[in-house]
Structure 1
Amino acid sequence: MEFFTLIFPLLLIAGPLSYLLVGLVPTQWANRNVGNMIQLTDRVAWTAFALSVVAAVGLALTGKVSHSFFALGEVFKLSVYFDTLSAVMLALVSFIGLIVTRYTRNYLAGDAQQGRFLKWLSATIAAVLALTVSGHLGMFVLVWMGISLGLHQLLIFYPERFGARLAARKKFITSRLGDLSMIGAAALTYQSFKTLDFSGIFSMAQAAREAGTSLPYIPEITALLVFAAVLKSAQFPFHSWLPEVMETPTPVSALLHAGIINAGGFLMVRMGEVMVLAPSTMTALALIGGITALYGSVVMLTQNSVKVSLAYSTVAQMGFMLLQCGLGAFSAAVLHIIGHSLYKAHAFLSSGSVVETSKSSFKKPLGAPKTSSLLLSLTLAVGVTFGVGAAFGASLDQKPGLLVLGSTLLMGLVYLMWNSVSDRLNPRLFLQGLGFTVAVAAGYFGLQTGMEMLLQGSVFTQMLPANLTALVLSVVLVVLFMAALVMQMLLPYRIHLPQWQAAYIHLLNGLYVHAFTHRLIEKLWPIEPHVHEDAAQKGPSHDLAHTRF
């Protein structure tokens, strides 16, 4: 046992370091030796995943681990902080990395730059893995920056594509603003806590909360952390780059939407002990998340591109996740991260078959729908959510985040069921649907309770004091999502009306946030036409063929 305790910290950094070594391979060698790169990345991916499983077992044997390997003063320490939250995220990211890496073997087979792609993919995964086990805020900030730099190289994998370069520049500028926020938060954290070690920060924050005392710079620290999370997780109005990065290879979209985009939520959960010291900042976070969730959900309904629709779905889901964090439901946010990551990885890697699947399952209800019956069904879904939630100890004044997400989930479920049987509804089908809804609600709250128990001691799980603003926000969001579902139902039958056509066009264009950011980029950082390396030899027509995309 003592031997395992000594080598355990080394196991935690072995996975990220293995990926990093692949990421340091020279680009020319990687492109010339694609077969070797494929084998190398495959073995590293399997090794990192296996090590994450071993680490989870080790956590059960040794308990929470906080260990430093070396330090450069207080600014930077190579250290690990490994608890249940870290174990869950490490296993999730390593699994997603394994799937994406193996998918890349066939997806980019024959591409002249496949070796370069694997190199940067490995470097990016290394940074995400390191983020999950970081034990020092300085190290956390460094790998936070490394994630965006590695992702930038993947986003411009096809530099001749104007759209890819435009989206990459938007993301680059957004990420640099987030980096500055993280650096500022780290500097103020040191001024307040006199340490950047997570173990010290969390213990001091917990002591201050229990004693009812205040620490300096807490509002400023939490505000900067929220701003960094909002930028990282593509929250409104800083989201426009996310739906535009579809010209990068599909494995990048899968890794981005299933892993990297969750970093903002992970930051909020990791720093939960500090965040709860600033109730006003938590309320602002919940408000931003709620607005983004509603915006992404409504805009998603109007998109006719599978991948763009999935991107707006991610924007909405990240909004839900940060809404939960703002309402103090940190363990629920972790469960949301797990579910969203697995779903989005599958959705993007199988996006080619989504269109045919949707065609084969499409069914249009007979006759015009009855708004009154749908409203009754949605209201019943909300009632079931609150009733089952009460049985699990979730009330609006104690766990509003769980009830908001649960109500939205069940309203979506009831809408689908209502839409499929609206032309032949009868009491027997109604009772079956009601029973299924109750079962889903019980499963939802059961999973939330289990995750809360699993993360006890690693994530802030205590009840926050009742907040009138949070209660009002929760009720308003439930009503607004109900209205969004009604709009989804009415849109196909009202599209001939001018006001509905106008609303559809505005939403299809994302309320023109993209147009504003396009103009801003053109002013701040104009994009010159890309000239292919052999364009000079093949003439203007070859150049045009590479720039018209």
Structure 2
Amino acid sequence: MTTTPLMWLMLAGPAALLALALLPAGNPRRLAGLARGGALISLATAAVGALLVALGGPLATPVLPGFGILFDALTAVMFLLVSFVGSIVVHFARNYMAGDPGHARFTRLLSVTLASVLLLILSGNMAMFLAAWVATSLGLNKLLVFYGDRPAAVLAARKKFIASRLGDLCLAVAIGMVWEVTGALEFSGVFAALKGITASGETPASLTLAAVLIAAAALLKSAQFPLHGWITEVMETPTPVSALLHAGIINAGGFLALRFSPLLQLSTPSMDLLLIVGGFTALFASVVMLTQNAIKVALAWSTIAQMGFMLLQCGLGAWPAALLHIVAHSLYKAHAFLSSGSVVDIARASWSPSPGGAPHPARLGLAVAGVIAGVGIVGTLSGFELAREPGLFALGAILLMGLTHYIAQSIDTRPTGFVIARTIVVAAAVAGLWFALQSGMAALMAGTLPEAANRTDLVALAAIFAVVAGFALLTIGQASFTTAKPGGATPEWVRAFYVHAHNGLYVNALANRLVLRWWPTGLQVRR
């Protein structure tokens, strides 16, 4: 771990964004332009920092007592990601909010929130991390109630506030326990102490509890079941908020798990908590997503599922895979939200009917079996071992199940040798790319994130089987399930389940009632 004065540059972007809160309103578009400049400064310094890490390894710079920077490979990837997405969102917001009476106020709030996320990523010690963690949440809450006269926005913000305060409490207590055991606040000192504890083979009970609390904080931040409902109701906020939330802020839970991964890997209960809750949420939200008609609501349920999938990867100890998932999801979701207004037109323009209609469940089942077998073959040829890394193969199988409809359609009616060969080549190429990206990210994070846990215990294997089987069944039944609207020709029990799934099994409705009972908004809210 080395130090360099250049690390001070990393604070230039966040400092510029924070300074906007002190400027007079003036011309809102000029203020928005300054915000974009601050975001671009962050992006430029992120590139410089990444280059320094690539050339010389991790960098740490103490700034003030309780305030310092840790710039390792994990920081470099996340700082580049958030700076890039943030600069796009800020630029988009400049035109999107033009003419809104609250344009200047929105720019200030967006800038402060983005700066808080960047400082969270840069944090070199746990005290600064906690402060930025809380500031990020408070800034987001202000953005969620930007239009304070909208009842749905107020209700969503209050549910988010409750979940966030629970997460803050979990993280604060956990940090206190870690500090007490390791005697250090700087991450470098904490990680060094954890290496000694790992070598001794005896983990203090307080560290095990701290790891469980950190896992709980990550779940709460990532909108996981059952406190997930707030994220599906934030559509009353301006679109740039949704883009920054789903592509940046929501990843704070995953970043927390990755930053504290050396501690989490010492605690089997914390890994099991991430594995079970994340896996269940991924399946649950994926089912609900298929029943949604509004584009942005469906994207919100997709985010819940993707975060669950990412935390499932953390629970399996596949840390590089989880980071790769964060990067891919952020880029995709930022584009999805910022272009959501044209999604319908794009879908209509690109739609073409399948020659045989919806694929038959039998063909889908054959395609799923082919995908699973193909992942096993390609993964083995790529140098991975199924017996040692079952989680990685399972994650690849779940990801590549997105190709099942493509494969099923290729054998739908009168398949030719060329079509079948092309389909096999494409599927194998995607599987090979998945394993190549995994290898690349693992090499990039070597020495920063712990080596993959490669869990093969009973709990992990049971969770892997349940999640893979669940996604396989969901993929096979997707064609009939998505058309099972009331009044359709599908079986009665399928239509009934469709209605219940469309309402998220009423978990969020129950949360709404509880919040409105104990913290009424004073506004008329549709329950």
State the TM-score, normalizing by the size of structure 2: 0.95
CA distance in structure 1 between the aligned counterparts of 2:434 and 2:239, rounded to whole angstroms: 31
Q: Are 2:204 and 1:215 aligned?
A: yes
Moved more, 246-255 or 44-53: 44-53
Partner of 1:98: 87
Partner of 2:59: 65
Q: Structure 1 residue 499: deviation in Å? A: 0.8
Partner of 1:12: 10
Distance 1:136 1:440, change over 3 A: same
CA distance in structure 2 between the aligned counterparts of 1:490 and 1:237, rounded to whole angstroms: 27
Partner of 2:188: 199
Partner of 2:403: 413
CA distance in structure 2 between the aligned counterparts of 1:518 and 1:166, rounded to whole angstroms: 8
Equivalences, count: 521
Q: Percent identity?
A: 44
Partner of 1:373: 363
1:142 to 113, 126, 131: 131
CA distance in structure 2 between the aligned counterparts of 1:231 and 1:423, rounded to whole angstroms: 47
Cα deviation digits, residues 495-514 of structure 1 (max 9, x gap): 42211110110111111112
Cα deviation digits, residues 472-495 of structure 1 (max 9, x gap): 211221111000011212225664
Structure 2, unmatched stretches of 5+, are none
Q: Is the 8 A contact 2:13 2:40 kept in 1?
A: no
Q: Are 2:141 and 1:133 aligned?
A: no
2:68 to 55, 79, 87: 79
CA distance in structure 1 between the aligned counterparts of 2:116 and 2:91, rounded to whole angstroms: 19
Q: Secondary structure at the match of 1:80?
A: strand
Q: Are 2:423 and 1:429 aligned?
A: no
Q: Secondary structure at the match of 2:273?
A: helix
Distance 1:130 1:397, change over 3 A: farther
CA distance in structure 2 between the aligned counterparts of 1:368 and 1:253, rounded to whole angstroms: 33
Distance 1:135 1:491, change over 3 A: same
Partner of 2:479: 489
Q: Structure 1 residue 548: deviation in Å? A: 10
Cα deviation digits, residues 237-275 of structure 1 (max 9, x gap): 111001110110000000000000011111111111000
Q: Is the 8 A contact 1:154 1:248 kept in 2?
A: yes
CA distance in structure 1 between the aligned counterparts of 2:482 and 2:336, rounded to whole angstroms: 25
CA distance in structure 1 between the aligned counterparts of 2:447 and 2:21, rounded to whole angstroms: 35
Partner of 1:455: 445
CA distance in structure 1 between the aligned counterparts of 2:199 and 2:454, rounded to whole angstroms: 12
Q: Structure 1 residue 413: deviation in Å? A: 1.1
CA distance in structure 1 between the aligned counterparts of 2:221 and 2:358, rounded to whole angstroms: 42
Structure 1, unmatched stretches of 5+, are 72-76, 531-546
The letter of the residue matching 2:36 is D
Cα deviation digits, residues 6-58 of structure 1 (max 9, x gap): 42221122222221112344xxx32x431330221121111111111111112
Q: Is the 8 A contact 1:295 1:316 kept in 2?
A: yes
CA RMSD of aligned residues (A): 1.9
Distance 1:548 1:418, change over 3 A: closer
Partner of 1:35: 29
The letter of the residue matching 1:7 is P
2:373 to 362, 376, 383: 383
Q: Are 2:46 and 1:48 aligned?
A: no
Partner of 2:509: 515
Q: Counterparts of 1:177-192 in structure 2 under 5 Å?
A: 177-192=166-181
CA distance in structure 2 between the aligned counterparts of 1:361 and 1:421, rounded to whole angstroms: 21
CA distance in structure 2 between the aligned counterparts of 1:320 and 1:63, rounded to whole angstroms: 30
1:245 to 234, 237, 253: 234
The letter of the residue matching 2:316 is L
The letter of the residue matching 1:526 is P
CA distance in structure 1 between the aligned counterparts of 2:456 and 2:280, rounded to whole angstroms: 21
Partner of 1:228: 217
The letter of the residue matching 1:247 is E
Distance 1:528 1:458, change over 3 A: same
CA distance in structure 1 between the aligned counterparts of 2:50 and 2:130, rounded to whole angstroms: 25
1:264 to 253, 264, 282: 253
Q: Secondary structure at the match of 1:68?
A: strand
The letter of the residue matching 2:114 is I
Q: Is the 8 A contact 1:24 1:123 kept in 2?
A: no
Q: Secondary structure at the match of 1:303?
A: coil
The letter of the residue matching 1:511 is L
CA distance in structure 2 between the aligned counterparts of 1:362 and 1:137, rounded to whole angstroms: 50
Q: Is the 8 A contact 1:307 1:348 kept in 2?
A: yes
Distance 1:134 1:492, change over 3 A: closer
State the TM-score, normalizing by the size of structure 1: 0.91
CA distance in structure 2 between the aligned counterparts of 1:345 and 1:522, rounded to whole angstroms: 32
CA distance in structure 1 between the aligned counterparts of 2:519 and 2:387, rounded to whole angstroms: 47
